[in-house]
Structure formats: structure tokens, C-alpha cells
Amino acid sequence: MLTSKLFGFAHFRCADLRSLSSTTEAETAAAAAAAAAAAGAGAAVNEQKAAANGFPGLFARYQSSSSLLEEQYYGVETPEDADIEEQQQQQQQQQQQEEETQQQRQETRELLLLRQMLKELHQQQQQQQQQQQQQQQQQQQQQQQQQQGHQPKPLLPPEKLKEAEAANNRLHQHQQQQQQQQQQQQQQQQQEQQEEEELFVSYG
């Protein structure tokens, strides 16, 4: 209270001094300096009174609190701000790691599914090839049996022998065509299987 009154008095005195035409600028400055010195002396007296009443360093703590508020107002980083920023960075890093882990798991699941599909397809092609080979063997056996059964008998007339030979030739040609078609299908399947195995190896 005393300090504010002294500052008000000094301001009032300076205003009065400026209003006087006979007062020079030097006298005005001297008066202001005297008023400021009086205010400082009043603050020192208040500090001494506070110490005598059992509150030493009261004004020092007030000045320290004021400087802290100024630092916070002007954006000076405090330890609490540093801790909050560090926690935010840790949370962001943890979230990024979790997202990367989920993406890796998804890619692993997709790769396993692709491998399983290729494996099943490979097994199906192997079964089809085995069935075709069995069918081809059966046809060859039937062809041999038919050739043995259609051998010309010496007692048959010549017309019957010609018809039997022609029928045997037609059957033989038909069987050859079927064998060629099966071989072509088998080659095509082998080629497809080889391409899929190369794809499987590249993904594996």
C-alpha cells in the first residue's frame, strides 16, 4: 500500500512539474528520480517490517512467483511441459509400432493362405495326372487285347479278313488319336504345374 502510494505521489508530482512552465526538464528528471528512490526506500522498509513480523523473504517469493508467471505467459518450457511432450512422443511411437505389427500379421496370414491354395492346386494336378496315366495304360492294354483278338484266321474268307483289318485299323487310329490328345493334355498340365511351382517358390 505504501509503495503504490509513493508511486502515485511521484506520478502526480511529475505531472505537476511538467505543467509548470518555469520548471526545466532537468528539474523534472531530478524530481522523478527522487520519487523513485523514495519508493525503493519504502519497499525496503516494508521488507524489513515483514521480516520483523516473521515473514522473511516475502517480497522475494512474490517476485519469484511473478517471474515464473511471466515465463509461463511468454511460453518458456517448464519441466511439466517437457514431461507431457515426452509422454505424447512415447504414445505416438507405441501406436506406430502397434500399427506396423498388425500390418505384418495381416501380410503373414495372406501369405499362408496363398501357400495353402497353391499346395492344394498342386495336389489336384498330381491326382489328375495319375488318373490320366492309368487311363492311358488301360487303353493300351485294351488295344493289345483287341489286336490279339482280331488276328486273321486262315479259315475266314478274304472279304471278312479285309473288313476285320479295316475295323482293326480304324480302332487303332482312334486309340492313337486319344493317346495323342491325352499326351497333349498331360503336357499342358505339366507346363501349368511348372509355372505354378515357380510362382510358389517365388512367394515362398
Whether residues 124 and 199 share a domain: the answer is yes
Closest alpha carbon to 129 in 180, 198, 185: 185
Domain count, the chain: 2
- pLDDT at 7 (0 to 100): 45
**Residues, the chain, total?**
204
Is position 81 within any domain?
Answer: no
Whether residues 127 and 58 share a domain: the answer is no
Is position 137 within any domain?
Answer: yes
Is position 199 within any domain?
Answer: yes
Which of 22, 51, 76 is the endpoint of a domain?
A: 76
Whether residues 129 and 181 share a domain: the answer is yes
pLDDT in tens, 65-120: 555 555 554 455 566 767 888 888 888 999 999 999 898 888 888 888 888 888 88
Domain that holds residue 161: 119-203
pLDDT in tens, 145-171: 777 765 555 566 777 778 888 888 888
Own/partner contacts of 108-112, CB < 8 Å, gap of 24 or more, are 111/203
Is position 98 within any domain?
Answer: no
Which of 18, 44, 76 is the endpoint of a domain?
A: 76
Please tell me the pTM assigned to this model: 0.31
